[in-house]
Amino acid sequence: MPVQDLEKKFQEKIDNEVKIEPKDWMPEAYRKTNLRQISQHAHSEVVGMLPEGNWITRAPSLKRKAILLAKVQDEAGHGLYLYSAAETLGMGRDEMINDLHSGKAKYSSIFNYPTLTWADIGAIGWLVDGAAIMNQVMLTRTSYGPYARAMVRICKEESFHQRQGFESLLVLSRGSKEQKEMCQDAINRWWWPALMMFGPKDSESSHSEQSMLWKIKRKSNDELRQNFVDMIAEQVKVLGMTLPDPDLKWNEQRKHYDFGEINWEEFWNVVKGNGPCNKQRLDARRKAHDEGKWVREAALAYAAKKAAERKDAA
Amino acid sequence: MNLIRKFYYGDIPDEKAGGNEISKSSQSQPDEKSWPLWEVFIRSKQGLDHKHCGSLHAADAQMAIENARDVYTRRMEGVSIWVVESKYITASNPEEAGELYEPAKDKVYRHPTFYNLPDEVNHM
Ligand SMILES: [Fe+2]
Ligand SMILES: [Fe+2]
C-alpha cells in the first residue's frame, strides 16, 4: 500500500477513536513524538521521586512517613508503566536511561526546585500532583493504546497523592503560627512553578496542530492551565491561605479566574538546565545507576547459574 | 511534515534542551547485558481469568514475579501472577487482520438472534 493510503487509513482510525497499537502501521513522526513524550514522562516520574525522597527520613510522624513512602513508591511504578509503554515503540530501556543521564532527554522542570521544609511535601502533593493529574486525565484518552492504558493505571493512583498533600497542608493550616507560616511559604514557592508545568502559552507555540490532529493531546496548554487555576483558587480558601498572585481575580464574564503573567524567562532557564537543582538531580540519578551496576550484574550471574543447575538436574 | 513544536508537560523537544553536561561514567557500557523483558498477567480475583497488565525487566522468573507483585498489586489488584518472557509471545500481524477475522463476518447464523421463534417459546 502506498504511504499516502497508509497515512489516510491511519488518520481515519484516529478520527474514529480507534486506538493505535504497537504493531500497527504509524507515521514515523507519530512514533517519534510519542516516544519522546512517553519517555520524558517516565523520566519525570523517576526524577520526581528525588525531591520527596528528601523528606522520608524526616517526616514528622510514622504515619506521614508511611504515606510518603507509599507515594514515592507509586511514582517509581508510574515510571515503570511509562517506560514499558515507550519500549513498545522500539527503544530499549537502557537507551532511554542513558539519554536521561547524559542530559539528552528531558524531564519536567518542576523537579528541579528544592524541597526546603516539610510543608513542601504537602504543597507538592496538592499542586504538583494536582497539575500532573489535569494533564494525565486528558492522556487517558490519548490515541496510542499502551500510553492510554498506562495513564488509566496512573490516574487511579494519583488522587491519593493529591489528597494526602492537601490534607497534610490542612493540618499545618490549623496549627501553630509557625506551621501556618510554613504552609503559606510552601504555597508561595510552588505556585508559579506548578503553573509552568503546563508549558508555554498556546500563542507561543505555533506548529501544534499535528499533535492535536493525532489526538496525542486533546487539550491545549492554556486550557489545562486555566482549569487548574480555577480548581486551586477555590481549594486554597479551604486552607485559609492565599496564592501569590495579586492579579488573581474571578472574572464573571469569562466564568474563569484571571491570573498574572508567568515568568517565562525562569521557565526556559530551568528547562535549559539552570534551575536550582538540575545538577543535583542528575547527579543523584547517575550515582544510583552507577552504584547499582554490580547488583544488576550479580542478578544476571545468579540467574545464569540457576538456569545451568536446572539443566543439570533435568 | 511539521515536527511538533508545542511543549506540554513532559514534552520538551530536544533542540530546546541543553545545558546539562554529558557524563560518561553513567552510560551503561555496551558490554552491560540488560535484564530480559517479561509480560505480566494478573488474576484480579479468584474465578477470573489472568489478564495482561504490562511488562517489566527482571533477571529471572522469580524476580519477575516479585517485581510484578511490587508494581502491579500494591492495592490488592491481584491474587495470582503469571509472567512469561516477552520473546516467547507470538502475536498475530495486524496486516493480516482481513484474512484472519473477515471470514467470521458473513456467518450470522452463528448468533442466536439469527433464529426467529414463535412468541410462545420462552427462555430460549
Ligand atoms: Fe506519578
Ligand atoms: Fe503522583
DSSP letters for A189-249 = HHHHHHHHTT-S-GGG--S-HHHHHTTS--S-HHHHHHHHHHHHHHHHHHHT---S-TT-E
User: Is residue B121 situated within a structural domain?
Assistant: no
- Collect all residues of chain A within an 8 Å Cβ-Cβ radius of residue B93: 23
Q: How confident is the model at residue B22 (pLDDT cuts 50, 70, 90)?
A: very low
Are A137 and A50 in contact by the 8 Å Cβ rule? The answer is no
- Collect all residues of chain B within an 8 Å Cβ-Cβ radius of residue A104: 14, 17, 22
Phi then psi for residue A280, to 5 deg, are -55, -45
User: Is residue B48 situated within a structural domain?
Assistant: yes
Closest-CA distance of chain A to residue B119, Å: 39
Are A169 and A122 in contact by the 8 Å Cβ rule? The answer is yes
Q: Are both B88 and B66 inside the same structural domain?
A: yes
CATH of the domain at B39: 3.10.20.520
Amino acid identity at B84? V
The CA distance from A286 to A291, in Å, is 8
Q: Which three cell numbers stand for residue A1?
A: 500500500
Statement: residue B122 has pLDDT above 90: no
Contacts of B117 (CB under 8 A, 6+ apart): B124
Q: Are both B62 and B17 inside the same structural domain?
A: no
Are A297 and A134 in contact by the 8 Å Cβ rule? The answer is no
The CA distance from A280 to A285, in Å, is 9
Nearest residue on chain A to B74, alpha-carbon basis: A74
State how many domains chain B has: 2
Q: Which three cell numbers stand for residue A185?
A: 511559604
Interface test with chain A among B1, B5, B6, B90, by most A beta carbons within 10 Å = B6
Q: Which three cell numbers stand for residue B4?
A: 511538533
Q: Are both B60 and B85 inside the same structural domain?
A: yes
User: Is residue B84 situated within a structural domain?
Assistant: yes
Q: Are both B24 and B41 inside the same structural domain?
A: no
How far, in Å, are A35, B22, B34, B123 from residue A93 at the CA level? 12, 19, 9, 55
Phi then psi for residue A258, to 5 deg, are -80, 150
Q: Could you report the per-residue pLDDT of A134-185, keeping only the tens digit for each?
A: 999 999 999 999 999 999 999 999 989 999 999 999 999 999 999 999 999 9
User: Is residue B55 situated within a structural domain?
Assistant: yes
Interface of B with A in 31-60 (CB under 8 A): 32-35, 37, 53-57, 59-60
User: Is residue B17 situated within a structural domain?
Assistant: yes
Rg of chain B over all Cα atoms, to the nearest angstrom: 25
Angle at A227 between CA A222 and CA A231, to 5 degrees: 145
Q: How confident is the model at residue B26 (pLDDT cuts 50, 70, 90)?
A: very low
pLDDT value, residue B33: 85
pLDDT value, residue A271: 86
| Residue B37, burial from CB neighbour count under 10 angstroms (0-12, 13-18, 19+) | middle
Domain assignment of residue B13, given as a range: 1-30
For residue A70, the ligand closest to its alpha carbon is 2
Contact yes or no for B28 and A87 at CB 8 A? no
pLDDT value, residue B3: 41
How far, in Å, are A30, A119, A121, A137, A153 from residue A126 at the CA level? 33, 11, 9, 16, 19
Mean pLDDT, to the nearest integer, of B56-73?
Answer: 96
Q: Which three cell numbers stand for residue A208?
A: 501544534
User: Is residue B122 situated within a structural domain?
Assistant: no
pLDDT value, residue B19: 40
Q: Are both B46 and B78 inside the same structural domain?
A: yes
Q: Are both B59 and B69 inside the same structural domain?
A: yes
Amino acid identity at A187? I
Are A184 and A241 in contact by the 8 Å Cβ rule? The answer is yes
Q: Quick one: DSSP state of residue A127?
A: I
pLDDT value, residue B124: 82
Q: Are both B80 and B98 inside the same structural domain?
A: yes
pTM for the full model? 0.89
Interface test with chain B among A95, A156, A296, by most B beta carbons within 10 Å = A296
Q: Are both B7 and B43 inside the same structural domain?
A: no
Contact yes or no for A135 and B9 at CB 8 A? yes
Q: Are both B66 and B18 inside the same structural domain?
A: no
Q: Are both B53 and B83 inside the same structural domain?
A: yes
Say yes or no: ipTM exceeds 0.90. Answer: no
Q: Are both B21 and B38 inside the same structural domain?
A: no
Low-confidence ranges of chain A (pLDDT < 70): 205-208
- Collect all residues of chain B within an 8 Å Cβ-Cβ radius of residue A217: 6, 8
Interface of A with B in 92-151 (CB under 8 A): 92-94, 97-98, 101-109, 131-132, 135, 150
User: Is residue B123 situated within a structural domain?
Assistant: no
Contacts of A202 (CB under 8 A, 6+ apart): A208, A220, A221, A222, B6
Q: Are both B25 and B65 inside the same structural domain?
A: no
| Residue A39, burial from CB neighbour count under 10 angstroms (0-12, 13-18, 19+) | buried
